Amino acid sequence: MGAVFRRPGRPLPVARDKLNQSPIARRQAGKHWEKTAEDFLCARGLRLLQRNFSSRFGEIDLVMEDRDTVVFVEVKYRSSNSHGSGADAVNIHKQNRISRTAAFFLAVNPARAEQFCRFDVVSIDPKKDEQEINWIRGAFYSTIE
């Protein structure tokens, strides 16, 4: 008997839509969800220090202050839970980049270097008729020694 070859199925509509989405549209969507997370955190008493802090190590979506603590926030949005939540995407590789970028932020902002630091993740996931915002305080520890 010969091998049976099957034609691959059609890609998921979500994946196809993402591939067809322009980089500008993705950036605008990212800004929208980062602003949503910022508003959510500000309503809970945090204060924005900086948006989209970039360095050669990577980018931190939001740098905020929670009383005497500098909070580095990674915002993740998922339009579907089929591949896990947004928080699931913050793997060890992403944590390493965020940690190195945070260390650089503290180096260029020495007054902040004496404050406590925390790494939070805001995961925005789909829910039936709205979006669910999941704020994970202290989601991970710095990997920098």
For every residue of 36-92, DSSP letters joined together read HHHHHHHTTT-EEEEEEEEETTEEEEEEEEETTEEEEEEEEE-S-SBTB-TGGG--H
Instruction: Please give the tally of structural domains in the chain.
Output: 1
Q: Is 128 domain-assigned?
A: yes
pTM (2 decimals)?
0.78
Q: Is 97 domain-assigned?
A: yes
Q: Is 3 domain-assigned?
A: no
**What b-and-e string marks burial along 18-30, b requiring 16 or more CB atoms within 10 Å of the CB?**
eeeeeeeeeeeee
CA nearest to 69, candidates 143, 124, 138? 138
The pLDDT score that the predictor gives to residue 61 is 96
Please report, in angstroms and rounded to a whole number, the separation of the first and last CA atoms in the chain: 59
The pLDDT score that the predictor gives to residue 80 is 62
CA nearest to 84, candidates 144, 125, 129? 125
Least confident interval from 9-13, 26-30, 107-111 = 9-13
Q: Is 8 domain-assigned?
A: no
Q: pLDDT, tens digit, for every residue of 80-138?
A: 665 666 677 788 999 999 999 999 999 999 999 999 999 999 988 766 566 788 999 99
At 100, which CATH number? 3.40.1350.10
Give the structural domain span for 132: 14-140
